Structure 1
């Protein structure tokens, strides 16, 4: 699983790790992408599987990625449909942020069908690389969670300012900015020459560190507000809603950072030195697997922590799907019984005619 062969050329003498806020999650590659690097990258038109199927562990990894990709896409996709089909949820800012992260998680789930099942290595030397387009889906969530934390802080701590200035269109603009910024930086870094790409990569590392520190501080701040400030307010539906939203965002961010931090630490170690762990491909990258698990855990926490979202997902997605399946089976069963009844009737008529 871990490649034991060390690099013959120092990282510092060639290129730096490709790390930006746009793709901070699984970037275990060692050098910055550039036009020259792209020409040197090997791309096989016949893509092999991610494992050799020579051991039980290979089968487990392959099956795990199939199950995970399916579950993540279905669960996150259910959250997307539940929010889009429920007007009451679309009008609340916190559910707009949930919608944005769930769209990213749905795409992450689908991306695992490629990253997890085939021999893909992002970075340099790359194999069947997507130039970080697929790994960057979760990078969108890094910024979205940061905006969501500030949103909850202003909603609870400064309600008058929040109600006046933080409109639904402003929140939608923040979500769009997360996507535009992420893939704009990624595009620029992929087309820049190596020297400029190294500078942009260093700026991305610094920005990413600042974002992580802010997220940790905001998580602590929101926890204090949820525990002390709201506890002094009189019981009311509004207080319960605020407490629910704060508790949910705190749990989600803690889970996100817990699963993502090992990958971030390994990236930093490899960026600053020749140390760190190296893996055969994205499918066997333990840190990437942990980070991608956020695509499933985030949606599960949303449904668990929000009764309104849970009801919406059940009524608009799963209940309708089950009813449609039951109606389809009932219709097929009725048609089958009708055909059998008609066959029996024709047979009895034939027998009567023969006797006559």
Structure 2
């Protein structure tokens, strides 16, 4: 049974200077990733031209997951939580699994780009917006269906399911690596043969984003993958006090900040949508508020 946050001790006891740094880091990281990924969600949702493109639907799905991951750090990073079997103040992997949704979404996004570049006629005919939305929904349904089963079966069997899930995750990561290499090589050759057009530029832009996101994903996730594999195979590996001090988990969660940042960096259309839909309105309010106050003062005089 899950306990309320008020009964869960904090992740650090503030007996050392670094405890303050850890606590402040998680507050800043949770706030920053939730705001950045959330602004991407709002930017895509409020822009019809982006919602109509399949690649932005995948970006939307991962950004929703990243937003929730950022919010989850307010619990995983600030309180004494240890996910696993057995767990301590855990969430039955509900919060960490937001990252799992991202992993599946990235794989399907890579297949989407592969079909768009290498089989454009098949892609335009069969890979509709409804299909992409259904695939994104499937990522959530699959991930949390597995967690639902794990939460109702005996702990020993749940631990076995979790170990099997780790193996499946390793296979998915291997597929991601191979797909990235193959997609880059094929797309580079294919796009060099196409005449200049807006469609060609869109393909190049989406491929560039996927390649950079996957590379960043692998760099940040690799230590955690290796450590988890070592722990399951040899019962050794590096162990941490809780999720807040788990350096490998922190690196993996950093994808929630790096992924939306790469989206905004790699897509001028998304960058403009995020600015127009979110940040320009925030800064406009901040700049107009003093003006309105001064106007009231002048009128009163």
1:73 pairs, out of 14, 29, 34, with 34
TM-score, structure 1 normalization: 0.81
SS at match of 1:335: helix
The one-character-per-residue Cα deviations of 1:119-149 (angstroms, maximum 9, x if unpaired) are 1111244222111111111110000000000
Task: Report the structure number with the largest CA radius of gyration.
Answer: 1
Per the alignment, residue 91 of structure 2 pairs with 130
Per the alignment, residue 260 of structure 1 pairs with 221
1:61 pairs, out of 22, 30, 37, with 22
- Dislocated runs of 4+, deviation >3 Å: 41-45, 336-339
Higher helix share: 2
Q: Would you say how many aligned residue pairs link Structure 1 and Structure 2?
A: 301
The one-character-per-residue Cα deviations of 1:181-214 (angstroms, maximum 9, x if unpaired) are 1011011012112453344334323322221111
Matched, 1:94 2:34: no
For structure 1, which segment, 155-164 or 224-233, has the greater mean C-alpha deviation from structure 2 after superposition?
224-233
The one-character-per-residue Cα deviations of 1:273-310 (angstroms, maximum 9, x if unpaired) are 22100001100000010000000000000000001100
1:285 pairs, out of 246, 262, 278, with 246
Question: Map of 1:235-250 to 2, 5 A cutoff?
Answer: 235-250=196-211
RMSD across aligned positions (CA): 1.7
Q: Using the alignment, how far apart are the partners of 2:147 and 2:228 within structure 1?
A: 17
Per the alignment, residue 21 of structure 1 pairs with none
Report if aligned partners of 1:260, 1:290 keep a CA contact under 8 Å in 2.
Answer: yes
Between 1 and 2, higher relative CO (CA 8 Å, sep ≥ 6) is seen in 1
Q: Using the alignment, how far apart are the partners of 2:134 and 2:49 within structure 1?
A: 20
Q: Using the alignment, how far apart are the partners of 2:178 and 2:249 within structure 1?
A: 25
Q: Using the alignment, how far apart are the partners of 1:202 and 1:154 within structure 2?
A: 32
Q: Using the alignment, how far apart are the partners of 2:4 and 2:72 within structure 1?
A: 18
SS at match of 2:264: helix
Per the alignment, residue 150 of structure 1 pairs with 111
1:184 pairs, out of 145, 167, 189, with 145
- For structure 2, the 5+ residue unaligned runs are none
Q: Using the alignment, how far apart are the partners of 1:273 and 1:336 within structure 2?
A: 73
The one-character-per-residue Cα deviations of 1:217-247 (angstroms, maximum 9, x if unpaired) are 1010111123322123222222111111111
TM-score, structure 2 normalization: 0.95
Q: Using the alignment, how far apart are the partners of 2:154 and 2:95 within structure 1?
A: 22
Matched, 1:271 2:232: yes
- For structure 1, the 5+ residue unaligned runs are 1-37, 342-356
